[in-house]
Amino acid sequence: MDFDLIIIGAGPAGLSLARALRGSGLHIGLIEQHTRDALQQPAFDGREIALTQHSAELLRQLGIWPLLGEAHIAPLRDALVLDGGAGPGQQRMRISHQLSPKSELGFLVANHHIRRAAFEAALAAEDASGQPHELRCGEQVTQIHTDASGAHLTLASGQRLSAQLVVAADSRHSGTRRAMGIPADMHDYGRTMLVCNMTHEQPHFETAWEWFDHGQTLALLPMNPDPVSGLPRSSVVLTLPSQELQPLMDLPEDAFNAAMAQRFGHQLGAMRLSSTRHAYPLVGVWARRLVAQRFAVVGDAAVGMHPVTAHGFNLGLRSIDSLSKALIQAHQKGQDIASPALLQRYQRQHQSDSRGLYLATHALATLYTREEAPARLLRQAMVGLGERFTPFKRAVAASLTGLH
């Protein structure tokens, strides 16, 4: 065997898994299609990740949290859900940090900072056996098959590798998952998400917004003040039908600023771009199985969430926590790290952790993108009742912190 474990994909999920297994004595290889420079200094991609308190603790345990840098960690104290247009008829539900045992519901960190910190943590030092993880960049897996003796890969370069176990962490559109014959349910929401950073005149009070307006969904994720102007700054997310979004992407900066201020009902005052603009199609993915013979999936390759609840990476960290603990325990006992029993236990655990949230998020996203009068009335009623029903808000707060 060339390796005990091969991880396909050196994004945040794959790197976090590699870090979780440092010191285990397992010989680990990572296969990544991007260059090493792109991993060491990842470019800003517009995405800001809302981390739960539970995820922050996992990142501390992995040694990734200190590498993020305090300037790049913004507290997310409260959450505000709004329905309807700006004005007297708008329904609001506030989820306060006071409903949880912490002073923040969570934290906001840019995706590229998480990628950078995970790379440093996973590959900066040797493991307890004196052998660093092997990272092979600029490589793609062209063939994979498994049998009772092991997992066997062929790379685009023609090199062949083998391992006891292969783990796919190569995105929600995982080609490796498909090559292993694992089907996935994919839901294309017919929407595209525009993300960027903007400064604004009015303070955000460290409060995240999720605003289900007529014909659009807006989100505001509170960031630390702009380092140049000192103005309040947020990650702004606008979701529209795909054909309506491109004209916004093409607007000159001044016209874009005015358009976004108008879409936010001028509730934040003047708004100005402080980053590049990025667009992503919204597609939810549920892998029907998480394991096969000597094979498992983690992160988005296992469950690709709609971002409405901001739980995608948080669920990915849970999958990594579950699988890494099982692998370490088996290795310490001299057992097969790819035994069917171990992989089935991992599948049961992560499907149990994620199924309810995935289905609830899918139902919520479907309801809040429909414009028929009954759907509008139902969601207005839900937000209004939620604001008055404290046990419901407490449950939402527990979900946002990950401490349930």
Domain harbouring 148, CATH code: 3.50.50.60
Q: Which pLDDT belongs to residue 401? A: 67
Q: Which pLDDT belongs to residue 96? A: 82
Are residues 222 and 159 located together in one domain of the fold? no
Are residues 82 and 31 located together in one domain of the fold? no
Q: Which pLDDT belongs to residue 126? A: 46
Cα torsion 156, 158, 159, 165 to 10°: value is 50
3-class DSSP state for residue 162? strand
Write out pLDDT tens, residues 358-370.
877 776 666 556 6
| Number of domain units in the chain | 2
**CA distances (Å), origin 56, targets 59, 61, 235, 354, 400:** 5, 9, 19, 18, 12
Of the residues 256, 282, 308, the one at which a domain ends: 282
Are residues 275 and 290 located together in one domain of the fold? no
Residue 228 falls inside a structural domain: yes
Does the pLDDT value for residue 112 go beyond 80? yes
Name which of 83, 14, 69, 72 is nearest 48 in CA terms.
72
Q: Which pLDDT belongs to residue 341? A: 98
Are residues 178 and 195 located together in one domain of the fold? no
Quick count: other Cβ atoms within 10 Å of Cβ 281?
12
Query: Between residues 227 and 133, which one has the greater pLDDT?
Result: 227
- pLDDT confidence of 239, banded at 50, 70, 90? very high
Are residues 179 and 260 located together in one domain of the fold? no
Are residues 162 and 204 located together in one domain of the fold? no
Query: Between residues 383 and 194, which one has the greater pLDDT?
Result: 194
Of the residues 230, 252, 282, the one at which a domain ends: 282
Residue 216 falls inside a structural domain: yes
Are residues 224 and 316 located together in one domain of the fold? no
Are residues 263 and 291 located together in one domain of the fold? no
Are residues 117 and 134 located together in one domain of the fold? yes
**CA distances (Å), origin 230, targets 73, 197, 227:** 16, 14, 6
Query: Between residues 97 and 68, which one has the greater pLDDT?
Result: 68
Residue 334 falls inside a structural domain: yes
Residue 303 falls inside a structural domain: yes
Of the residues 240, 263, 282, the one at which a domain ends: 282
Residue 387 falls inside a structural domain: no
Share of the chain above pLDDT 90, in %: 69
Q: Which residues contact 37 (CB under 8 A, 6 or more apart)?
A: none
The overall average pLDDT reported for the chain is 89
Does the pLDDT value for residue 65 go beyond 90? yes
What average pLDDT does range 327-345 have in this prediction? Answer: 97
Residue 404 falls inside a structural domain: no
Does the pLDDT value for residue 127 go beyond 60? no
Are residues 63 and 138 located together in one domain of the fold? yes
Distance (Å, rounded) from C-alpha 368 to C-alpha 365?
5
Q: Which pLDDT belongs to residue 268? A: 96
Share of the chain above pLDDT 70, in %: 86
Domain holding 258, by residue range, is: 76-106+189-282
Q: Inter-axis angle of helices 340-368 and 373-388, to 10 degrees?
A: 110
Does the pLDDT value for residue 111 go beyond 50? yes
CATH code (residue 278): 3.30.9.10
Q: Which pLDDT belongs to residue 379? A: 60
Are residues 96 and 114 located together in one domain of the fold? no
Q: Which pLDDT belongs to residue 380? A: 62
What average pLDDT does range 284-303 have in this prediction? Answer: 96
Query: Between residues 323 and 100, which one has the greater pLDDT?
Result: 323
Whole-model pTM: value is: 0.90
Residue 131 falls inside a structural domain: yes
Are residues 52 and 130 located together in one domain of the fold? yes
Residue 392 falls inside a structural domain: no
- pLDDT confidence of 26, banded at 50, 70, 90? very high
Contact 174, 288 (CB under 8 A): no
Q: Which pLDDT belongs to residue 128? A: 46
Does the pLDDT value for residue 213 go beyond 50? yes
